Amino acid sequence: MASTSTLVTNKDEIGIVNAGINGPIRICGTQQAQQAIREFSKYGLISFSRDQRFKSSDYSIHFIKPAKKLKELYNLGDEVLILCCNNSLAEFKSRTKDFLDFLLSSKEEFKNRLDKVACFVVDDSENAEDIIRFDRAQNPDSRLIVPFSYAELDNGLTDELLQARLRAFLYERDLFGIAAPLQDENLFFGKDRTNLISELYGKYRQGEHGGLFGLRRIGKTSILNLLRQRVDQSGGVAIYLDCSKYHHQRWNTFLQQIIIDVEKRYRDKDSGLCYVLAEDFVLPTDPSRYDESKAPISFEEDILSLYNALGKTRILLIFDEIELIGYTTSPSEHWKNGSDALFFWQAIRSVFQTNSSVLSFIITGVNPKIIEIAKINGTDNPIFNGLSAQYISLFDLDDVRRMVSNIGGYLGLRFEEEIFTKLVDDYGGHPFLIRQVCSRMNTEVLDRREIRPYTISKYSYEKHSNDYQSQMTGVIEQILGVLQDYYPAEYELLKTLALDGSLAFKKKLGFGESAAAHLLGYCLIEKYNDDYFVRIQSISKYIKDKYRYDKSLTSWEEKRTRISIRRNDIELELRKIISTQFQLKFGKKAKEHLATQLKHTTTDTTQEAKILSMDFKSAMQEIYFSQLKTLVTKNWPDYEHLFNDRVKFEQFFDIVNSFRADAHAKELSEEDEAILNIAFKYFENALKDF
């Protein structure tokens, strides 16, 4: 049906100066769809229209060049997809969503033409909004879909309806707060990461192996997801294996699991993959084939059968969280100290050594230790130096600006230029940390009910920057946790650099050159003019705060000051705990019980009268440090969960009480200082979660 719509040239409140339907274009679809597109044409130029069938469903697809003001308000691309459906939202997950992914991610014809994040969907379903909201809750990283029903468009698309719907499905979604790995390229940023995907894909095509390493939360799994998507789109075969699911298995059953996972993925006829296994393709089912003595041969036979059945296409095995099946690093004993890692990689290597066209693999983790260990239980490591380690770099200023501006644009947020520089300084270009901080800023704007678009000023960021860094403590602990758990030598080196500086760090390098190389690879530290620095200020601050008593001191005055601070901190926490426990246990009688329990524990004959004459809070400040021990030991069952061992509690308390810095004019001996440090740590560890 040819369109006779005329070009709208009047300018209204949202700035429309160029809208309508491009003359030669024939508007496709049902009568309802055509009417819907005419309504959309009030707010932009319809530049494309086509009918298309996908998975037995009929659709019409249309492109709109949004009016300038709409484009600016909602960060829309030059052209935006409008997908008109025929009551197919009922099967949104299995059909319509796949079609959107096909149009916006896979189809080369449209890939660089359309906004890849936002689109419109129109359907018969009266609950279209609920369907999209439910999917958004389950898949927070999915593209931004703005839904309409034909019924509401039949009544006309008004400025109020259009902008209310755009605000509801764009502004009210916190794209910065997404924590799950990305499943597609909608919100993927970082030019170096795009190059990494190309390099890894090139290795796969050449039958080579790859290793990808980097900090926790740096984006490794997102890169792997996009790599697998790239392999799928190019007609390759790839399987993703999260080792956190499989380290409980023995090496031989994990080999079998790989075969099961490959077969399962390429059995799905509706997967959209280039290859689907024929219905008559059957692998042997005898369970004994994967006994330890037979597993390597059976694996080779089965992977070769799959290779032939999948058009003799090389199979890419992607191993994520490789530490979990690593020798010395796995939480499972048979991988950590046994020979499972040896036998597993021997079986994998024997396949590609025999026929390099059958498979290749990529391993990812924090640390490339798995390819740096020469021996596993005295036998040559099958993949020692078998591939080159590539690290994921942090974002530079341009990457940060592009990511924050782009995502912020969909949320109606703008950022002053200085904020981008501060984000790089404070978080070193770590994209997840930066997105989480921006999520906090977005929440603040939401809580204040600011009108969007809204510009966040550099002054606002500076005012709250310390709060943001404090709020990132949990994320930083997660990022550094894998170093602390699996690579303690590297963690200790990082601590030394943060606490004691470059000179102390370099003195330790004789014991850990490879550890320093790894820290440089993670981009946690950087080297400049033969000196080393912690690159991420928020991580440096976290370490200094957490280990503030571990910094090396040389003068006795500095040590005296620190001893006094640590003792006072412990005393303050003990008073809080005892005060809370007494009030919970004795209620209004807390003060009387306090006085009774402290009788005859001091030479101060006026203390009891003072306590009874004050309120309980003031009374707690009247008691001496040494008396806190009495209050705990007399009520030991109330504190046992904190201190565990009563003998240790009493001994360490006496040490802290006797070695008061202000009570010693001379320096403590090294032995006494060490003993005092042990006592301090006992109390600090016990009290830290109160």
DSSP assignment of 628-665 equals HHHHHHHTHHHHHHHH--HHHHHHHHHHHHH--GGG-S
Buried b (16+ CB within 10 A) or exposed e, 304-336: bbbbebbeebbbbbbbbbbbbbbbebbebebbb
Residue with tokens 């301090």: 680
Residue 1 pLDDT:
35
Tens of pLDDT, residue by residue over 35-87, are 999 999 999 999 999 999 988 889 999 999 999 888 888 889 899 999 999 87
Q: What angle do CA 550, 649, 609 make, to 5 degrees?
A: 110
Q: What sections of 310-396 are H helices per DSSP?
A: 333-336, 340-354, 369-372
Smallest CA-to-CA distance from 534 within 435, 427, 419, 462 is with 427
Rounded average pLDDT over 122-130 = 87
The answer to whether residue 258 scores a pLDDT higher than 90 is yes
Range with the largest mean pLDDT of 11-15, 352-356, 398-402, 550-554:
398-402
- What is the DSSP track for 190-249? -HHHHHHHHHHHHHHHHT--EEEE--TTSSHHHHHHHHHHHHHHTT-EEEEEEHHHHTTS
pLDDT per residue over 170-200, tens digit each? 887 889 998 888 887 888 999 899 999 999 9
Mean pLDDT of the chain, nearest integer: 89
CB atoms within 10 A of CB 268: 11
The string of pLDDT tens digits covering residues 223-246 is 999 999 999 989 999 999 999 999
- The tokens for 277 are 């296994």
Strands in 487-586 per DSSP E:
525-528, 531-534
Give how far the C-alpha of residue 47 lies from the chain's centroid of Cα atoms, to the nearest Å. 39
Q: What is the pLDDT of residue 109?
A: 78
Confidence of residue 315 (pLDDT cuts 50, 70, 90): very high
Phi then psi dihedrals of residue 349, to 5 deg: -65, -40
Chain position carrying tokens 């006992």: 682
Give residue 600's pLDDT: 82
Tokens 């048979």 belong to 334
- Tokens 């999520």, residue located: 439
Cα 601 from chain centre: 54
Handedness of CA 664, 670, 674, 677 (dihedral sign): positive
Tokens 């200082």 label which residue? 673
Residues 630/636/639/640 CA torsion (nearest 10 deg) = 130
More confident residue, 511 or 499: 499
Q: What is the DSSP string of 106-129?
A: I-HHHHTTS-SSEEEEEES-TTHH
| Geometric angle at alpha carbon 377, from 372 and 382, rounded to 5° | 50
Q: Read off the pLDDT of each residue in 306-312 and give the average, rounded to a whole number.
A: 96
| Residue that is written with structure tokens 């890849």 in the block | 116
Q: Is residue 105 within 8 Å of 143, Cβ to Cβ?
A: no
Which residue shows structure tokens 């932009």?
44
- Greatest mean pLDDT among 153-157, 185-189, 317-321, 610-614: 317-321
**Rounded Cα gap, residues 21 and 36, in angstroms:** 12
Contacting residues for 567 by C-beta, under 8 A, at least 6 apart: 656, 660, 661, 680
Instruction: Say what the pLDDT of residue 490 is.
Output: 92
Q: Which residues, other chains included, contact 470 with Cβ-Cβ below 8 Å and sequence gap of 6+?
A: none
What's the CA dihedral at 528, 533, 537, 543 to 10 degrees?
170
Those residues whose C-beta lies under 8 Å from the C-beta of residue 121, and which sit 6 or more positions away, are: 82, 83, 85, 89, 96, 100, 128, 132, 145, 146, 147, 148
pLDDT: which is higher, 186 or 129: 129
**105 vs 230, 335, 487, 653, CA distance in Å?**
10, 39, 39, 65
Residue 9 has pLDDT above 50, yes or no: no
At 142, the pLDDT band (50, 70, 90 cuts) reads: confident
Residue 4: pLDDT over 60: no
Please, what's the largest Cα pairwise distance for the chain?
Answer: 104
Specify the higher pLDDT residue, 546 or 341: 341
DSSP 321: S
Helix (H) or strand (E) segment spanning residue 544: helix 537-546
**Residue of 262, 197, 264, 260 lying closest to 234 (CA atoms):** 197
Secondary structure tally for the chain: helices H, strands E: 32, 17
Q: What is the mean pLDDT of residues 270-298?
A: 90
Per-residue pLDDT tens for 578-614?
999 999 999 989 989 999 999 888 888 888 888 899 8
Residue 495 CA to residue 25 CA, distance in Å, equals: 65
Tokens describing residue 353: 């050594």
The yes-or-no verdict on residue 690 having pLDDT over 70 is: no
Closest CA to 556 of 669, 667, 673, 677: 667
Query: What's the whole-number mean pLDDT along residues 24-36?
Result: 92
Q: Is the peptide bond before 453 cis (omega within 30 degrees of 0)?
A: yes
Pairing of strands 80-84, 57-66: antiparallel
pLDDT of amino acid 105? 78
Give the distance from CA 236 to its chain's centroid.
Answer: 28
List Cβ<8 Å contacts ≥24 apart for 540-546: 540/498, 541/469, 542/469, 542/472, 542/473, 542/476, 542/477, 542/480, 543/494, 543/495, 543/498, 543/499, 544/498, 544/499
Is the pLDDT higher at 104 or at 636? 636
State the pLDDT at residue 689: 66
Average pLDDT estimate for 274-286: 90
pLDDT of residue 104: 86
C-alpha 83/C-alpha 119 separation (Å) is 8
